[in-house]
Amino acid sequence: MRAALGSTRPLVVRTALVADPGDLLTRLPAAAPHAWIRHGEGLVAWGEAARVSVPPGPGRFDWARDWLSSVFAGAHVDDEAHAPGSGPVAFGSFTFDPASPGSVLVVPRTVLARRDGRAWLTTIGEGRLDEITAPRDPGRISYGDGSLTAPEWEHAVAQAARRIRSGRLEKAVLARDLTAVAEHPIDVRVLLSRLAGRFPECYTFSCAGLVGATPELLVRRTGETVESLVLAGTTPRGTGPADDAARGAALFASAKDRREHACAIDSVRRTLAPLCAELKIPEEPELLVLPNVQHLASPVTGHLSAGLSVLDVVAALHPTAAVGGTPTRTALQVIRELEGMDRAGYAGPVGWIDSRGDGEWGIALRCAQIEGAHARLFAGCGIMGDSDPAAELAEAQAKFRVMQYALEG
């Protein structure tokens, strides 16, 4: 199934350098905004020059790459910026499970971007600056259980830990969901503004109703350079500086969390090594301190083999051990058996790609799927053989607070 472009003629794309637009998120109209922002830089977009629902299945990334090639082929591009994210760009969100429907690619009609001290505006056809209306607060929020209650999810964690201790697998990541209903239809711009302001170190994103602020960069491609940030191992923030430091030190010394992190690093190493002429991975993780949690983090860089786009690397990396488990096939089967839900876009790749193959893709964590006044929130934890269900539930609740803050302010 392919999307109609509304015309058989090639895209006419114009990218012009513009004065600094200030806060990019304040330039978004209310209707279906797309965004990828970190520390105030990135891209915001609206309108649709092309859109497609990517068919589920093991070949979905190849299908998506071919569709994008057909859309970008023959485009008439006038590009003053000549930078990653200039010219025609597609935003995308892929479901975690390849068998699940819901993956989507959108080529916006208008993109406003800022990077490294320069800003530009890209329009396709009659792309325009739509009228900006004042964002509306969603009002009172009511929460309910998702697919599993808290005790049911703790039982699933205990089952996963038993299977790990039996030797069936080394690690499994289990997610849970919450439902939320707002007093008014949820304005995605409100969520984006709150997330970007509170979590500037994260990648605040919006694509096809999936909104969040992920700390985990799956891959960035700039020319032949690729970068990834591996996160695995988490602890909540402390009640004060001393408690915070103690929690960070305990996380760094935790055998369970260090094993979990090692699984994630090994997964990325095995995947990226065949794609790169050179790969650099630190020997020790560092602490990434966010407003709500601390993570063990390892930045990875590589020199990509010629001819591979960022989407090719996404296809190779997903799912990482950080969101699936080890070994991958067994962990995915355990997830399907124990979670009791379809993750949809949660823990799947989300991001953007331009016509040169450059782009940035994160793992859709700390996120919610928004539809009208309804939201479905997600959080997940890495389960090891010695995991404590109550502690894992507390970690998931800490991760839920990101989107609860975005909804409630």
The pLDDT of residue 376: 98
- pLDDT, block means (10 residues), the chain with 409 residues: 51 97 96 95 96 97 96 95 98 97 97 97 82 94 97 98 96 97 98 97 97 96 95 92 95 93 91 93 94 94 92 96 92 96 98 98 98 98 96 95 97
Quick: pLDDT tens for 101-145. Answer: 999 999 999 999 999 999 999 999 976 667 889 999 999 999 999
| Residue 5 confidence (pLDDT) | 44
From 41, 126, 170, 216, the catalytic residue:
216
Question: Which residue range forms the structural domain that includes residue 241?
Answer: 12-133+143-408
Give the model's pLDDT for residue 9. Answer: 74
pLDDT of residue 254: 95
309 lies in some domain: yes
Radius of gyration of the chain (CA): 21
Classify residue 256: in a domain, yes or no.
Answer: yes
Helix pair angle (310-317, 60-72), 10° resolution: 170
283 in active site = no
CB atoms within 10 A of CB 106: 24
pLDDT attached to residue 306: 81
Q: Is residue 237 part of a domain?
A: yes
- Residues 34 and 43: their CA atoms lie apart, in Å, by 8
Residue 26 DSSP label = G
Q: How far is CA 360 from CA 37, 84, 222, 306, in A?
A: 11, 9, 9, 18
Contact (Cβ atoms closer than 8 angstroms) between residue 323 and residue 231:
no
41, 131, 152, 171: the active-site residue: 171
Residues 6+ apart with CB under 8 A from 116: 41, 83
- Cα distance between residue 164 and residue 144, in whole Å: 30
> Is residue 2, in this structure, part of any structural domain at all?
no
Q: Which residues, in sequence order, are bridge partners of residue 226?
A: 221, 302
**Beta strand pairing status for 374-383 and 104-107?**
unpaired
Q: Nearest Cα to 36, choosing from 50, 48, 51, 24?
A: 24
User: Residues 225, 237: contact at Cβ < 8 Å?
Assistant: no
Residue 5 lies in a domain: no
The pTM for the full model equals 0.94
CB neighbours of 322 closer than 8 A, spacing ≥ 6?
A: 173, 216, 230, 231, 232, 264, 267, 363, 382
Residue 337 domain-assigned (yes or no): yes
Distance separating alpha carbons of residues 36 and 371, to the nearest angstrom: 19
Provide the token pair at 147.
């697919």
Cα–Cα distance for residue pair 126/180, rounded to 1 Å: 37
For residue 397, the domain's CATH number is 3.60.120.10
The answer to whether residue 347 sits within a structural domain is: yes
Residue 1 resides in a domain: no
Q: Tens of pLDDT along 291-313?
A: 989 999 999 999 998 889 999 99
**Quick one: pLDDT at residue 126?**
75
Tokens matching residue 318: 């997903």
Burial class (CB in 10 A: 0-12, 13-18, 19+), 346: buried
Number of domains in the chain: 1
Cβ within 8 Å of residue 246, ≥6 positions away: 238
**Beta carbons of 372 and 210 less than 8 angstroms apart:** no
Of the candidates 108, 15, 65, 74, the one whose C-alpha atom is nearest the C-alpha of residue 314 is 65
The whole-angstrom distance between residue 297's C-alpha and the CA centroid of its chain comes to 16
Tell me if residue 80 is catalytic: no
The SS3 of residue 294 is strand
**Using CA atoms, how far apart are residues 310 and 72, in angstroms rounded to an integer?**
15
